[in-house]
Structures are given as C-alpha cells and as structure tokens.
Structure 1
C-alpha cells in the first residue's frame, strides 16, 4: 500500500547553523532579493519600520547585554512570556546567538499555568512583557528564580520599572561593550539535535507537553514552505508565486505558537514585510489590513468565522488581500465558501501541521484558487495513513496520519514515555484521522480522541460543526459526545448564536424553537446516526490560542449534564 510524498524535491538544508544565522546572514538559493526600501518589520500602531541593519544591531546588542549581565550560556533556557512585539523575534534570535534554548509561553497563562511551564523547562532567565510582569515575577519566585532575573519587554519609560532591567537597557549595555564573539559555530550535523525552541503543544495524546524543536528542523520548515511555491513549473518567477518580494503580511497570529513562528519566518525569508500586531482585536485587524494594504493574511478559524459572519466587514475595503491562509485548526467547506465570496480575487486555503513537526505538513496547492481541504504535502515529507487494523490506507481510505519529515521535533522535553509513543522509527504519529483524495490533498476528518461513537459507528464532530456553521443563525459551534445508554454516545452541539439570532430568540422565536430548527438542519443534511440529539446555547466556545476548540472542556460540561436518552 502507498506512501504519499510531494512532487517537488527539497533543496539541501544547512545543518551547521542556528536559526538566527540562517535568517539574518545566510544567502540560500531559494531566497529572493529584498526590494530596496522594503522593511523587515513594521509596528502596527505607529507604522515604524525596522530594517535588517537595525535587527542585526539590536540582536547582537541584546546577546552581549544578556551574556554580560546574566551570564546566560549555551543550553541554558530563556523563557519569553509576551504578546507579539517588534522585539519578540529579536529576543529569540539573540538567545540563539548564545546557543540558549528559548521557551515560548502563552502570555494569557495564569500563575499556575505559567508555573507549570517554568517547572517543565527550568529557565535561567524570563523575558516578560510589561502587561504580564507581575505574573512573571510570581512565577519566577515560585520556581526559586530571583525576580531580578525577569527582564521587561516594553515601550514605556524605563523609569517605570525601577526593580527590573528592560530589554532596551540590555541592548544599550551590549552595544556599549566590546562585541565579544560569544557565538560558537555549530559543527556539521549539530543543528539537527541542538535545541532552538521549547514550544508548548496539546500533544498528540494525553496532557499538554513541551516540544523540543531543533535549529535544523526550524530551518527545514522555512525551506519546505518556500519550496512548495515551486511545486508547479509555471510558477517559475517570484512574481508568479503566492508569496512575492515586497508583499506585506499581517503578523496577528501569536508568535509564541508554532504557527506564528513559522508564518513570521517564512515571509521574512521570502523578502516580505511583516506588520507586527500585539493582540488580535477584530475591528482593529480590519483597520490594519486597510492601513497597511495587507497582501498576505494568515488567520486561525475563529478569525475566519468573524470575517465570514460579521456584517461590519462590508464597511472595509479589503481588496489588497491576495492570499488567505488559515491554520491552527480545520476550516469547514461552508466557511471556506463564505471567505471565497467575500474575497473573490484572493487565493484561499488551509495550512495543516503540528508543533511536533515544526508546524508545517501541507499547504494549498499552487494550482488551487480556493482550497476546501488541507492542501498537498510540503516538499521533504513522506506520509502514510494507518487504518485501525494496522494496514496502510490507499486513496480515500481514512486512518491516522503518520509523517516523516526533516522538520520533525527532537521529542517531548523531559518526557521520554510520550516521546516513544509519538515518535517511532523516524515516523511521527499525528493523532489525526485523515485521508488522501485523488488530488493528493489531505482531507482532515477529526482528532482520533474526539471521535464520537454512535452504535459503534464513528461520527466526526468537525463534520457536524461544519454543517451547523452553514446555518445563518450559528456564529460558532462545538460538538461533543453525550453518554447514552442505548447507543453509547449521541452528538451534543454547543452553539453560539449570531447577535441577530440571539435577539430573535428573545423577541419572537424562543430558544427551544431555534434549537429544534438547528437539530432539523443537521437531520436534513446528514444520515440518521449523525443526527444531533441535543443543542445547548453557550456564550463562547473555549479554544486554545491557535483556534483549536477545547472539546474536552465542553465534554466535561456535557458529562455534568448527565446521560441522554435521545433516540437516534
């Protein structure tokens, strides 16, 4: 039975350099020339432009400042606890010059959540944004790390933080000192195992984990996406590709998430400007698209839902957008269709990947204008689909996706058991139920652990969620299994109504009538065993920062509701 692979061969990947060296100093044959005057980064709010010379200067200044003041050494861990910031990548790259490991952390974490990651990664230094400074200091103290080893990332006056050192102060200190050559050149092959990032992941099974990503794997990820643009001979020049030198990309995806890491480094490598957005606010995102004339829009499903459903979008001229890439979680056919109607001239598709393979597994085919599935495999990846009986699947046969990739993670940090369960004989298990169609596209079905069993038959929550998203009254939805004595489980839909539908339910129809309409909508479009037995309204669907729904949270809520005696 077949293995699946991309049609394009991946060029040689350097294995003797850090991600910082590759991004700031290396000329690869795939790398285009950046047009004169094209900045690397732009501050969303002020429009301040940052070029390569300034990035190099600040990166090397921070390297020297951190080394001289805190003595950070090779293989030390530095945790970054911050929202998107113009200096975020500079902080990452400066630590890479010291061959330190960077632990990326969600800035919305509570004290206990931050403490969990601190205990897992044991940082020698924390760089925290001013907005979450108090949480960072408490987390450091609980771990036994002195509060003076929490550095502040801020645009404010340094005098506001008399007890802390700021990133700007460290850069200034580093630039005032002799530029000592702290950076050790990696040996041939060393980049394959030298840890660059410790990235949080929900894991393919079990509890959340931290994934250890190598410099080689991250560089491979950048080259794989760039090579994908050459997957068709007719796209021979940069002007004919999706990503074009001089384009402007909106950097609204969180940089602590692997999707944000990949989709910031790839545009920068491809001579594209990244506008750094500190935090996602929908109306402000629309303003930013217009203000900066954004060409490349990288989003996650909740943002796609807002673009498709919120009438305010019609008030904005978004015609500058040429490419929309959605990742982090699956996007239904209905939502993709609505996006295509809203952006009739744009290329629209889904990227699919996992932290365990440094973000990228597949992206929209270059020949596809609107992609309803997860695209084709990136160059360098070999995939197989393993059926429940252990046999390998052919086209249009579902099973768990396993991949081999030069970008595969080193493993789970400090968790040998989980590493052995997920990374086996060169293959990484994704925990996702998929199939390959006749066009070699990955068709995502669902997470294996989310599948609902009705009379022994598999029901995909994603399929029912997509069906319900097609209903005009539904703003968001999550489907989970509800225990049932006769069938084992039945589907329960937690639904967020649109503002108009919520008003209508109060004034005219009533909530029960709307619930029945939604149940009937699924019944009219799906076979009997997939029918939704129950609908519950909810204010918002819990999601992680990449947009993946936290099914387990609502599954626990469903269990508290008790068993269902609904008949299917």
Structure 2
C-alpha cells in the first residue's frame, strides 16, 4: 500500500517561478513568520560580526555583477565552491543563481583526485575556494585544464596571504566598476526544471554522482519542514514552540553548507524561519560548547558522532547547555536508545528527535512529530507534508504496516536525475519516485523505523562512503589481488570502512610465513588509501586478509556475508577488551 503524510502541502502554495535565493529574500509565504527587528541572518563565530538581510542582499547583487563582468558567468555555468563554512558561502550561491548559473559544493577536505573528479563531472567554469585549500584546488584545476586565474578565494582572518583574487575584491569591483545586470527571472513552472545545484551522492551503489536539483526542490523541502513544525502557527505557548523568530542555530561540521543537510535544513530553512545562523568554519567540539554560550545558540543540527560527544565528553559538565539549547535534531543515521536517553537527561526541556532524508530527496522526508518534544527512540519520525511512500518487499509486493521492505519515496522535493548517468538514474529515479536502498518499516502511528541498508553505501560520521570507490583504490596497490570493503560497526562513527583483502601469491606467501611481514603489508594498504582519499574514507576498520572474496553464481560480491563477518570481529574485540 501507499502511505501518505498526515498533512498535505498544496502545490498552489509552492512558488515555481523563483530561485531559492529569491524565495529566501522575498518570500511572504503564509508559513513564514514576520521579520523580527534586529535579528541578523549570519553571525561570524570567530569575530562576532553580524550580517543583516540588507547587507547580504546588497553583497549578493554586487558579487553577481562582478562575476558577470570579469568571468562572464551566465546561464547554466557551473561554479564549484570548495570551502569550509564561510559567511560569504551562501552569498556566492545566490549570486551565481542571479546569473542563471548552477552551484556544485565540494567537500573542503577532498584530496586532489577527489576534487578533480567533481570538477570533471560538473564541467565547472569557476572555483571559489578557502585559502587553506588553494594548493589542492590549483592542482585539480591544472589537471582539468581550468586556468589558474579562474580560482577565487574567500577572505579569512588567519589564513596565509594569497595572490588570488578574493570574494571581497569581487564585491568591491561590483560596487565600483561592474555594470548592472538583469537578474535571472524564472517563468511560471520553470523552477521545476531549472537546475540550482549539482550535489554529489553515492546513490545506492558506485562512485559519487551529481544529483541534479532544481530550484523548486529545496523550496518545497523548506516549506515541508516549516509546515510540519508549524513554524508560523500559534499552536502552543511561546516558550514551548520549537521554532521562533530570533532563535539562533549553529552551522558547523558535519553540516558544511556544501552538503544537502547543511544546505537545505541548516541554511535555507533556518533563514526562512527568521532565525540567525552562527557560521563556524571548522568543527571543534570544545569550541562549539564555547560558541553555544557566547552566542546563546538554541538550535543544534547534529549527526550521531556529535551526539556521542555531547553525551560523553568530559568538557560538557563545564557548560550549562540546558540554559541555551532548545532543540536538537539528529540526522544521517539512527541513534541508539542509550544515546537518546543520555541526551534527554542532559537537556531535559529541549525538543529532541530524529529526521531522515537523502540528497536525492532534497532532503528531509521524515521528522519527529511536533505534537511532542521528544521523538521516539529509534524512530526517524513521521512523513513531512506532501510526501508519499511505499515499502516494497523482496518479492516485489507492497508491505503493510510493520512489514520490512525497501523505502521508495515520492515528493515534490525529489531531484530530477543523476547528471549524465542514465544507468544510475534508471536504478534510483523511477517515474518520479526515488528508491532509497534503505530497509524500513512503518507502524500504524506513522512512525518510520530505519532497519538496515539494502544498498552498499556506508555512513561514516554521517558522510556517505561508496565501497566500490575504496575497492578501486585498494586494487591499485601492488600486493592486492581482490578486495571487498564493508562498514564495520563503530560506537563513535556509526560505521568505519573495513577492507577484506585477497593478496597476490607472492605477498600472501610472505604474510603467511611472517606475521611482521603481514603487518607491513596491511599498514601499506591502509597508508595507500589514506594518501588518496579524504579522512572519513580511510580504513579505520582495518584490513583483514582472506583467501577468497565470496561471490554469487553470477559473480556479484556477497557483501552482506562480509558485513556479518565484520560484526563478528567487532564482538570478538569487545570480548577481548573485557578479559
């Protein structure tokens, strides 16, 4: 059966002729609160400087003028943002959209080959980067054939000097010399097809793919979350409302603005709700605690590893967090019952719950109910308005309540496709529905429970990791004949990559004859991955040597068999630790 959200989201109330920037700046939607006097949009964490709406609006337009004047950025040109969080990051997004361009955000910790892959996939014509990442950006640009003068930098206080043109230089150019331009206006209905973002996801399998997201999709999801949370409704006493104009959220890792969680929920939804955002460039847990007190931060958007720190880090006792934090939302992976209870005890009066979403659905599909402060432990919440799902069992039939199966989602917020990848698109995007690759069940109360991942993708600290990508890297090692990578359970990261490796004959002989030689080979494989992949993709689960990688009669990797083996290894380690 198909299961519909309890609340509708009338299509007539969703603007389909606005860019996401125009929606944030100009929307007077009935779900949006009125502006509260003196509430800034952004607060720079390091300096405490506030940025109001009018300053941000003016800065966006002048940057757009300069980008058109100096670089000719226009219709469907892709600008790649390779940076940590920065107060100018959203301004760059909206400026490019004013010109009809497309934004692709890259993980700021990418290695050269990872960044090159994204530049090639998107055919980026300009890069805006953090000064600390200049060397990686220039190396990727050189290999791609992008001129070095088409790399701009965000301005920072503590970064080393650079010869590059900065965003501040461009803003000044826009104010003084760049001629006025005509902002891109969408025709009725065009928002559903005009691309805003190329955000990368591993989908259900394989290497990362560019998810084609039109302007309409994040606008829809912002409204879905707002209506679900009754943002502009007088539904309870003011002090108990989950979202209020003037509340303060924090934008810090893993919610870098480049990823879909940070981009849609932590940025655009928060601004739509007339709240302020404290922009933190790089995550530091104790630093975050200080920021919460310094800026009176009330709203946290987290992933499980950050919740673990919040519950268990010894520094927490030095801060009276319950006096400031009013809401904690956790996404990316389920929280254990134990962690939920610890979080409830730490923040007894806060709204606390979980949500579920993915890049392909842009973003949140479920969220804990607004009817109570606390989400149910283990549940990802209820469907947000305007969402329809079906649970498909292994035999292809539709599941009923409390029956497990693959979650398949229809929402007006769904992305269009994977850019230039018809095969992967066909696997995931089916007649407007998105196959999630996640095994779930839904109970009669509408609570969605994520049970397992049917897809191969691992979730490490909230980030997607495709086993095939790591396997390709490992197979380049001179001693490796075959490999299979799975997620090993980890209390902090959720999962960590563990590689089962079949060695070439000569290496296998050495390893069998001398345990020290085996350790040398194992360390060499781990180092090879560390030299070529971003930190969360490193083989933190280690390397296990095996005689053969199990496969089906058709030759497909039996990854589930090795995932079970990884769980056994974890249990054996825990037993040894207790002895």
The two structures share one fold, judged by TM-score above 0.5: yes
The residue aligned with 1:393 is 399
Match of 1:265 in 2: 268
User: Who is 2:312 aligned against?
Assistant: 309
TM-score (norm 2): 0.79
Q: Secondary structure at the match of 2:268?
A: helix
SS, match of residue 283 in structure 2: coil
Q: 1:95 to 1:451 in 2, by over 3 A?
A: closer
Q: Is the 8 A contact 1:381 1:403 kept in 2?
A: yes
Partner of 2:340: 336
TM-score scaled by structure 1? 0.80
Partners in 1 of 2:250 and 2:75 — Cα distance?
33
What is aligned with 2:194?
Answer: 194
Q: How does 1:462-477 map to 2 (within 5 A)?
A: 469=491
Q: Please state how far the C-alpha of 1:559 moved relative to its aligned partner.
A: 5.4
In structure 1, distance between residues paired with 2:106 and 2:258:
6
SS in 2 for 1:182: coil
- The root-mean-square deviation of aligned C-alpha atoms, in Å, is 3.1
Describe the SS at the equivalent of 1:274: strand
Q: Does residue 301 of structure 2 align to residue 298 of structure 1? A: yes
Q: For residue 407 of structure 1, what is the aligned residue in structure 2?
A: 413
Task: Indicate the residue corresponding to 2:515 in structure 1.
Answer: none
CA displacement at 1:15 relative to structure 2: 0.6
Q: Is the 8 A contact 1:232 1:366 kept in 2?
A: no
In the TM superposition, what is the alpha-carbon distance from 1:205 to its structure 2 partner? 2.3
Instruction: Give the secondary-structure state (helix, strand or coil) at the position aligned to 2:87.
Output: coil
1:267-313 deviations in whole A, cap 9, x for unaligned? 11000000001011111011111111111111111101111121221
- Change in CA separation of 1:260 and 1:218 when aligned onto 2, cut-off 3 Å: same
Q: What is the deviation of 1:328?
A: 2.0
The reply to whether residue 39 of structure 1 matches residue 45 of structure 2 is no
The answer to whether the Cα contact below 8 Å between 2:498 and 2:540 also exists between their aligned partners in 1 is no
The residue number in structure 1 matching 2:358 is 354
1:428 aligns with 2:464: no
Partners of 2:232 and 2:311 in 1: how far apart? 30
What does residue 141 of structure 1 align with? 142
Secondary structure at 1:361's aligned position in 2?
strand
Alpha-carbon separation, structure 1, partners of 2:300 and 2:443: 27
Query: How big is the shift at 1:480?
Result: 8.5
- Please tell me whether the aligned partners of residues 300 and 546 of structure 1 are also in contact (alpha carbons under 8 angstroms): no
Deviation at 1:86, TM superposition (A): 0.8
- Could you tell me how far 1:389 is from its partner in structure 2? 0.7
Residues 128 and 153 in structure 2, CA contact (< 8 A), matched pair in contact too = yes
Task: Please list every run of 5 or more consecutive structure 1 residues that lacks an aligned counterpart in the other structure.
Answer: 453-460, 470-474, 484-537
Residue 178 of structure 1 and its aligned partner are, at CA, apart by 6.0
Q: Which moved more, 1:150-159 or 1:239-248?
A: 150-159
**CA offset at residue 414 of structure 1?**
1.5
Question: Does the CA contact (< 8 Å) of 2:311 and 2:343 recur in 1?
Answer: yes
Whether contact under 8 Å (1:363, 1:377) holds in the other structure is yes
Equivalent-residue separation in structure 2 for 1:132 and 1:561 (angstroms): 41
Superposition map of 1:95-244 within 5 A = 95-156=96-157, 160-162=161-163, 164-177=164-177, 180-230=180-230, 235=235, 241-244=241-244
Find the aligned partners of 2:226 and 2:542 in 1 and give their Cα distance.
Answer: 42
Q: Distance in 1 between matches of 2:313 and 2:194?
A: 45
The residue that corresponds to 2:509 in the other structure is none
Aligned pair in 2 of structure 1 residues 477, 53: CA closer, same or farther (>3 Å)? closer
Q: Deviations over 1:348-375 (max 9, x none)?
A: 1111100001111011101232222101
CA distance in 2, matches of 1:280, 1:157: 16
Please say if residues 228 and 384 of structure 2, whose CA atoms lie closer than 8 Å, have aligned partners that are also in contact: yes
The answer (yes or no) to whether the contact 1:434–1:444 under 8 Å persists in 2 is: yes
- Name the structure 2 match of 1:23: 24
Cα distance, 1:211 vs. partner? 0.7
1:52-71 paired onto structure 2 within 5 Å: 52-71=53-72
Give distance in 2, aligned partners of 1:143 and 1:31.
43
Q: Given the alignment, which residue of 279, 283, 290 partners 2:282?
A: 279
The structural deviation recorded for 1:202 is 2.0
Q: CA deviation at 1:555?
A: 7.5
Aligned to 1:256: 258
Q: 1:214 to 1:349 in 2, by over 3 A?
A: same
Q: Say whether the 8 Å CA contact 2:131–2:159 is kept in structure 1.
A: no
Residue 155 of structure 1 deviates from its aligned partner by 2.4
- Compared CA separation, residues 422 and 110, structure 1 to 2 (3 A): same
The CA distance in 2 between the partners of 1:265 and 1:75, in whole Å, is 22
Out of 431, 438, 441, the position equivalent to 2:444 is 438
Query: By how many angstroms is 1:342 displaced?
Result: 1.1
Q: Quote the residue 1:289 is aligned against.
A: 292
Distance 1:374 1:159, change over 3 A: closer
Partner of 1:457: none
Q: Quick check: 1:257–1:546 contact (8 Å CA) kept in 2?
A: no
Correspondence 1:399-548 to 2 at 5 A: 399-449=405-455, 469=491, 478=495
**Residues 156 and 13 of structure 1, relative CA distance in 2, 3 Å threshold:** same
Distance 1:61 1:309, change over 3 A: same
How has the CA–CA distance of structure 1 residues 451 and 390 changed in structure 2, closer, same or farther, with 3 Å as cutoff?
farther
**What secondary structure is seen at the aligned counterpart in 1 of 2:543?**
helix
* Contact 1:81–1:129 under 8 Å retained in 2: yes
* Separation in structure 2 between the aligned mates of residue 396 and residue 202 of structure 1, nearest angstrom: 28
The 1:178–1:116 alpha-carbon spacing in structure 2 relative to 1, beyond 3 Å, is: closer
Assess if the C-alpha contact under 8 Å between 1:231 and 1:366 holds in 2. Answer: no
